[in-house]
Amino acid sequence: MPSDKRTAVVLGASGYTGAETLRWLLGHPNVRVVGATANKHAGKRLDALWPQFVGATDLVLGTEAVPADVTFLCLPHGEASKIAPSLSGTLIDLSGDHRLPEPVHSAAYGFARATDPWVYGLPELGHARMLGATRVANPGCFATALALAMLPMRGALPAVVNAVGLTGSTGSGATPTPTTHHPARAENLRPYKVLDHQHVPEVVAACTLPGGPTFALDFVPMSAPLRRGILVTVPLPGATVEAYRAFYAGNPLVRVLSTPPDLHGVLGSPRADIAVVEKDGRAVVFCAIDNLCRGAGSQAVANLNLVMGWPVDLGLRSLPPVP
Ligand SMILES: NC(=O)c1ccc[n+]([C@@H]2O[C@H](COP(=O)([O-])OP(=O)(O)OC[C@H]3O[C@@H](n4cnc5c(N)ncnc54)[C@H](OP(=O)(O)O)[C@@H]3O)[C@@H](O)[C@H]2O)c1
């Protein structure tokens, strides 16, 4: 029977962001998933790799992308840009391959990118710019949390912004490394890429008004003994609860809370939780997200919604698990 649903394929569905993107797509009312790929896991059933999907799909992980209305690229940096030129339809790239212009991209990622235009898919930068887009660069996970913490202050940010962010181990992908596997992460906190995280240029670009003053972002990322979740802390003089509530009013993917957020409020959820704590003219902004949801898969689905002209939170309305 013919379907008016849009077809979707996920490249890299054996990885964390790919599986999370599929989780949201399989529950989306306007989408039919028609394919999923993997590299070393190709040939396996998706539900053999991820028991979460037993009963939800009988997809087998392939090696090649099949044609679809939309293709999600959940691949390592450098791999997405290799395959993108051969794909048709709408592409939503979760890697860092298409987020930054040159020469900033080369400085951040160590290889040059093609100059074809991709829309930076942070929904809060405006919905109209996404409608009908065929090439969407999904923001980085830290970049999403930092930009959401700072966007309401765009144009009024200090010349130097300081920020600290903690992240869970899934942020580094499914393949363990000496600094990301369990014995190294458990019961440990470890700063890394201090003042040198590749997401910083994304945040500066997103939070600078065209023709307006720019700023430096001194960011200290820290690996935390968690699987999922990002919490960033940004002291921002001049930030007020009222301004943040007004900026995010009506946004179903951001909640402005009265007390500092914690990760339990966002894990498994497509929403970001933000709070501004003010005292004696000073202010600290917090933003909590699930790196695999608002920082990756559910944000990619929100971007699909905007490309298609659907409500930004279509298929993304579930609440986080309790407790
Ligand atoms: N993890 C996060 O929180 C997060 C958030 C935002 C954005 N991102 C970005 O999203 C992308 C995917 O991240 P991830 O954490 O999902 O990584 P991951 O868990 O390592 O998954 C990578 C996926 O790509 C496949 N793959 C690896 N090498 C390939 C190749 N040469 N050709 C084709 N497929 C290949 C893997 O297949 P096999 O497993 O079968 O080898 C796997 O399905 C990265 O660019 C990452 O920076 C990650």
Answer yes or no: do 122 and 178 share one domain.
Answer: no
Answer yes or no: do 126 and 210 share one domain.
Answer: no
Q: What residues form DSSP beta bridges with 216?
A: 160
CA distance 193 to 252: 32
How many residues in the chain? 323
In a domain, 119, yes or no: yes
Answer yes or no: do 120 and 146 share one domain.
Answer: no
Answer yes or no: do 145 and 285 share one domain.
Answer: yes
Q: For 201-225, how does the pLDDT look when each residue is reduced to its tens digit (9 = 90+)?
A: 999 999 999 999 999 999 999 999 9
Residue 115, pLDDT score: 82
In a domain, 323, yes or no: no
Answer yes or no: do 129 and 223 share one domain.
Answer: no
Residue 170, pLDDT score: 95
Tokens (6 digits) for 190: 């470890």
Answer yes or no: do 62 and 118 share one domain.
Answer: yes
Answer yes or no: do 243 and 261 share one domain.
Answer: yes
In a domain, 321, yes or no: no
Residue 321, pLDDT score: 85
CA of 114 to the centre of ligand 1 (A): 20
Largest CA distance in the chain: 64
Chain-centre distance for alpha carbon 33: 20
CA distance 10 to 46: 12
pTM of the model: 0.97
Residue nearest to atom 2 of ligand 1 (CA): 171
Q: For 218-244, how does the pLDDT look when each residue is reduced to its tens digit (9 = 90+)?
A: 999 999 999 999 999 999 999 999 999
Residue 2, pLDDT score: 57
Mutate which of 9, 17, 197 to test ligand 1's pocket (most atoms within 8 Å of Cβ)?
Answer: 17
In a domain, 319, yes or no: no
Answer yes or no: do 118 and 157 share one domain.
Answer: no
The answer, yes or no, to whether any atom of ligand 1 lies below 6 A from the CB of 49, is no
Residue nearest to atom 21 of ligand 1 (CA): 15
What's the structural domain count of the chain? 2
Q: Are strands 160-167 and 230-235 parallel, antiparallel or unpaired?
A: antiparallel
CA distance 257 to 222: 24
CA of 38 to the centre of ligand 1 (A): 9
Residue 134, pLDDT score: 97
Answer yes or no: do 155 and 257 share one domain.
Answer: yes
Average pLDDT over the chain, rounded to an integer: 96
CATH number of the domain that residue 253 is part of: 3.30.360.10
Q: For 20-62, how does the pLDDT look when each residue is reduced to its tens digit (9 = 90+)?
A: 999 999 999 999 999 999 999 999 999 999 999 999 999 999 9
Counting from 1 in the atom list of ligand 1, the atom nearest the Cα of 17 is 16
DSSP assignment of 133-152 equals -SEEEPPPHHHHHHHHHHGG
In a domain, 317, yes or no: no
Answer yes or no: do 157 and 255 share one domain.
Answer: yes
Residue nearest to atom 46 of ligand 1 (CA): 95
Instruction: Choose between 319 and 70: higher pLDDT.
Output: 70
Answer yes or no: do 185 and 64 share one domain.
Answer: no
For residues 130-135, give the mean pLDDT. Answer: 98
Active site residue 74: no
- Domain of 182? 141-289
The answer, yes or no, to whether any atom of ligand 1 lies below 6 A from the CB of 16, is yes
